Chains A and B, each alone.
Chain A
């Protein structure tokens, strides 16, 4: 079995053993269910067979929840010293990072799987566009991948979980909000570049049912950069 998968399985089991997974499930389903079906601009208020309101809520809840999931991944191992045990086994730094990334993403996928009754219910109420819904889910997973890799990097630079949480939130905030707000302040090429850096635009187009290669490249770049940086800060121990 690949070491990446061995690490991912242990990490996933530890999410469930430490109740984090269950708390996340309850909170995420509670929030998204409440705002999708019961309150504010919910589905009945909008009056369309679309999951747009769910995607909007999930976009924000994941932004807050993912740093809470990733904060312990490497910071805790550093604090307790288990990182030394892990890295002296027959695994590379990169495999450790990948395993942890995979575990978090799998947990989020499981949580999203629990919202499948939403589109099913919608199918009873009207005629939703399943292609669009599929793209929305894919968008949520891609967004989660980006934030998970940012969180993993934040967790790799410190042994304090709170610092890791805040650092992840801070970095993610740029992609989530600040670039979007800044782009309207600039015109021309600068404005376009900053606008491209904002996750909001990319996610909105995905939630509308359009997955562009530009969106994919954008997300993959963030994911790879995050994982690479996390790998770097793990192997920094090798330098004087």
Chain B
């Protein structure tokens, strides 16, 4: 089932939470929803899941409008809200059974689905404990299990890996990637490496508006503008190198990282001319080029550029 969001808006009183947001997510795609705190991520997700009313525009799921057929669409959506609220006094099994019944799973299938979820989310040793007794990581798994219990075509996960240890994070990411092959997944986070590791596409939202939309690579290319190279040149005087690098065609700026060991950082126009010129220069002057590392623009920098204004 595809999700199409058309000119979605929402305001709380005078405060605008989401303003004219439009995007599309296709089946088999994992969309990473990024943005600083209070950017409107959770509000958008709450509107998609039908928890809060849609201010303006509409959300179409499989061609059906959430505004008009929201009740019917709820069955196709699995939702893990922010902070993962759960009934603490209930044992894990009872809780999952309750969720399964609410989602209208026929009684004959409930036991099979329960076993499957317990296995997939590795809850076997904890299944009879009360949710309140579980550690944060296990509670998060219960949250994921309840979202997936009815095998929904759409998964909306609001910060699914908060509070997990690194091993659990890797497991959950693996699980989400597997799920993402056949389902439509939207996950929000502000852990940037997570998006790169899990998502096919990234959407950055700031102050209720979309500021970037694309794959991690395309965002990088967009943001890059120039090539950053780290070089190490041996058998040369620092002042000579400084002067020569500045005069090199294609180089826009250059600075010493550590002059004594011969490390420099140079910025150049993209296209790789500077790299060839640098090599020729070293050959000419009989300097030894021992390192030439292209530095990638980090997602963090892109994020900061787009959301700090």
Contacts and interface: CB of A to CB of B under 8 A. Distances in A.
Q: Do A and B bind each other?
A: yes
Interface of A: 1, 3, 6-7, 10, 13-14, 17-18, 80-82, 84-92, 237-240
A37 B104 CA distance: 49
Among B81, B83, B94, B102, chain A packs the most CB atoms within 10 A around the CB of B102
Given A6-B98, A88-B49, A88-B79, 18 more contacts: A1-B101, A14-B87, A82-B87, A84-B81, A87-B51, A89-B102, A90-B71, A90-B103, A90-B104, A91-B74, A91-B102, A237-B51, A237-B53, A238-B52, A238-B53, A240-B10, A240-B12, A240-B55
Interface string B87-108: 1111000100011011110010
A85 B104 CA distance: 15
Contacts of B71: 90, 92
A99 to B, nearest CB: 10
A14 B49 contact: no
A39 to B, nearest CB: 37
B85 interface: yes
A91 B72 CA distance: 9
Contact of B101 (A6, A13, A14, A92): A6
Interface residues of B, number: 33
Contacts of A10: 87, 90, 98
A87 B102 CA distance: 10
B13 A88 contact: no
The 10 closest A-B pairs by CB, nearest first: A238-B53, A81-B85, A89-B102, A6-B101, A82-B85, A88-B49, A90-B74, A90-B75, A88-B79, A84-B81
Chain A contact surface mostly: helix
Nearest to A86: B102
A85 B53 contact: no
Contacts of B137: none
A17 B103 contact: no
B44 interface: no
A237 B10 CA distance: 12
Contacts of B81: 81, 84-85, 88
A3 B75 CA distance: 13
B89 to A, nearest CB: 6
Contacts of A89: 74, 99, 102-103
B79 A85 contact: yes
B87 to A, nearest CB: 6
B180 to A, nearest CB: 20
B53 A239 contact: yes
Given A90-B102, A90-B104, A237 B85 contact: no
Contacts of B69: none
A1 B94 CA distance: 16
A158 to B, nearest CB: 17
Contacts of B55: 240
B86 interface: yes
A90 B107 CA distance: 16
A93 B139 CA distance: 26
